[in-house]
Amino acid sequence: QAPTAAAAVSPLTPPAAGRVQGAVTIIDAFQDRAALEQLATDVSRRGGDATPLRAVLARLDANAPAQNTPAWLAERLDYTTCSSARCVVEGDGAMLDRLVERYAHRVAGKVSTSRDTERGHINELIALERFVRDHGGTIVRNLPLVPWKDAPPHAPLAHSTNGLWLAPDGVLRYVEVKTVRHLRNGRPYWHMAQLQLGMLCFGVDSCLYVQDDPDKPMTSRQVAHVVRKDVRWIDIALPRVARFWDRVRAHRAQLALAAAAAKRRKPRASHSRRKYERLHNVPRGVAVGASRLPLALLASDEVPAPLGAALHALLGTSVALDGVTAAGGAAAGGTGGTGAAFAGCAWRVLRHLRAPALNADDPKATIAEERRAGGEAQAAA
């Protein structure tokens, strides 16, 4: 079990009516870059920790994609993110197997959606506006994916939250909004892995878990809790994340090998080619070996194709063929006896082979040229 018991949770009490201090501001990270930089500067000037804001600015400088874009969905497949953290850390069995398959095949999209999910996307901005109106401060929304800067290469972690909240007292927290049908007090067990991962990636000590029920009256539609960081969570989560990515990389390697094998050139069926092979008593595939094997040999009328193929398999390199040629019939087996007799036989057979495939880009054209040359020689004689 992931260690979530040490993560302290306390309700966030909104200020009394009319007590919200300061202006209420919502900043879009991608559209209000100047306002985001100014906010980070102001936080640093007041002695606060602007690390989360600086991390967002660094990702914007790296041209990170905006949330819910195709590029953002594809980028998430290289990290363990908020949506997959609970399954990776606490899941097993078929649920984890399906997630490995999705990451290995790089299915960049929402595999399954529901009415509640779509309802949450639509309600997210409304909930943030409602929250900042009740509690004051500044909200930064539409954030890019922010990787954990200390994550090892074999266990990448990243998070893209709903927003960052700078409270009126100067404390910067990240905000996670969940659209629910029933508001619940107490520890958010179901989303604890997601919250801990977000605090880890943004470098904050606490976050806000906001539940919003659009069906309730405006005065009671939200419940917010402050969840504090559990420093032990990463110690147990990291080995499980590493094991998950070992499986994903192994599966991706298998898929790459299968794709490479599928792309290999295969001999194409041809009626005219098979007709030629049957007419000239050539085994299937030998006549087209020049396009597939570097030293396949074409058999002549004096040497049957099976014998030529057997000799090629036996002597099967250009070095061996050159050795037989240089020896003049006494190089393949030794100084005499059976070896010399075999070498002489091999040389006599090889002399009757039409042409090596290195000189025959098109077997049919090569055979036609040889026959034409033979006819011209006979006519001249």
Per-residue model confidence (pLDDT) at position 221: 79
Summarize pLDDT for 327-370 with one digit per residue, the tens. Answer: 333 333 344 455 555 556 666 655 555 444 434 445 555 566 66
Same domain, 69 and 132: yes
Structure tokens at 168: 């009126």
Q: Give the range among 113-117, 188-192, 256-260, 349-353 with minimum mean pLDDT.
A: 349-353
Q: How many domains does the chain divide into?
A: 2
The pTM of this model reads 0.65
Q: How does DSSP assign 187-219, residue by residue? A: --GGGHHHHHHHHHHHT-SEEEEEEE-TTS-GG
259 falls within a domain = no
Average pLDDT over residues 185-202: 86
Of 253, 282, 313, the last residue of a domain is: 253
Joined tokens for residue 303: 């040497």
Residue 307 has pLDDT above 60, yes or no: no
Q: Are residues 63 and 138 in the same domain?
A: yes
Residue 321 included in any domain: yes
The verdict on residue 262 lying in a domain is: no
| Within-domain flag for 168 | yes
**Which residue would you say has higher pLDDT here, 271 or 348?**
271
Sign of CA dihedral 199, 202, 205, 211: negative
In the predicted model, is pLDDT for residue 38 greater than 90? yes
Residues 351 and 204 in one domain: no
Query: Positive or negative CA dihedral for 19, 177, 57, 28?
Result: negative
Apex 251 CA angle, 249 and 252, nearest 5? 65
Q: Which residue has the higher pLDDT, 102 or 335?
A: 102
Mean pLDDT of 285-294: 46
Residue-level pLDDT at 191: 87
Same domain, 241 and 306: no
User: In whole angstroms, what is the distance from residue 287 CA to residue 262 CA?
Assistant: 24
Average pLDDT of every residue of the chain: 76
- Residue 83 sits in a domain whose CATH number is 3.90.320.10
Distance CA 72, CA 85 (A): 17
13 with 126, same domain?
yes
Out of 89-93, 168-172, 370-374, which region has the weakest mean confidence (pLDDT)?
370-374
d(CA 152, CA 145): 17
Distance CA 24, CA 136 (A): 6
Residue 368: the pLDDT is 66
pLDDT more than 90, % of the chain: 35
pLDDT of 372: 79
Report pLDDT for 234.
92
The residue among 292 and 97 whose pLDDT is bigger is: 97
Query: 232 with 283, same domain?
Result: no
Q: Does 245 lie in the same domain as 287? A: no
Pairwise CA distance, residues 144 & 379, whole Å:
82
Q: Where is 257: in which H helix or E strand?
A: helix 233-263
pLDDT in tens, 205-236: 999 999 888 777 766 778 888 999 998 999 99
Distance (Å) of CA 335 to CA 215, 246, 300, 340, 341: 99, 58, 30, 6, 10
Give the Cβ contact number of residue 301 at 10 Å. 9
Q: DSSP string of 104-159? A: HHT--S-S---HHHHHHHHHHHHHHHHHHHHH-SEEEES---EE-TT--TTS-BEE
Q: Are residues 208 and 297 in the same domain?
A: no
The least confident of 14-23, 110-119, 141-150 is: 14-23
The pLDDT value recorded for residue 298 is 44
In one letter, which amino acid is 36? L
Which of these three, 253, 279, 296, is where a domain ends?
A: 253
- Total length of the chain: 381
CB neighbours of 145 closer than 8 A, spacing ≥ 6?
A: 59, 64, 65, 72, 75, 76, 79, 81, 158, 159, 160
Q: What is the pLDDT of residue 148?
A: 95
In a domain, 1, yes or no: no
Instruction: Confirm if 211 and 183 have CB atoms less than 8 A apart.
Output: yes
Is 307 part of a structural domain of the chain? yes
Cβ pair 354, 370 in contact under 8 A: yes
**Does 245 share its domain with 122?**
yes
Nearest to 196 by CA among 86, 64, 103, 51: 86
Residue 261 placed within a domain = no
Domain boundary (253, 279, 301) is at 253
Percent of all residues in the chain with a pLDDT value above 70, rounded to a whole number: 67
Quote the pLDDT of residue 290. 40
Terminal Cα distance for the chain, rounded: 94
* 298/219 same-domain check: no
User: Based on the number of CB atoms within 10 Å of its own CB, is 358 exposed (0-12), middle (13-18) or buried (19 or more)?
Assistant: exposed
Structural domain that includes position 125:
9-253
Structure tokens at 193: 């892995």
Please give the backbone phi and psi of residue 64, each rounded to the nearest 5 degrees, phi first: -65, 145
Flag the least confident range among 121-125, 126-130, 269-273, 301-305: 301-305
Identify the pLDDT of residue 346: 62
In the block, tokens 């077997």 appear at 363
**Quick one: 352 and 301 in the same domain?**
yes
> Quick one: which of 118, 164, 162, 160 has its CA closest to 140?
164
**If you average pLDDT over each of 154-158, 170-174, 302-306, which comes out highest?**
154-158
Distance, CA of 150 to CA of 376 (rounded, Å)? 79
Examine residue 264 and state whether it is found in any structural domain, yes or no: no
Do 205 and 91 lie in one domain? The reply is: yes
* Backbone phi and psi for residue 27, each to the nearest 5 degrees, phi listed first: -115, 130
Q: List, in sequence order, every beta strand (DSSP E) within the chain.
A: 9-11, 25-28, 138-141, 146-147, 158-159, 163-166, 172-179, 206-212, 222-228, 297-298, 355-356
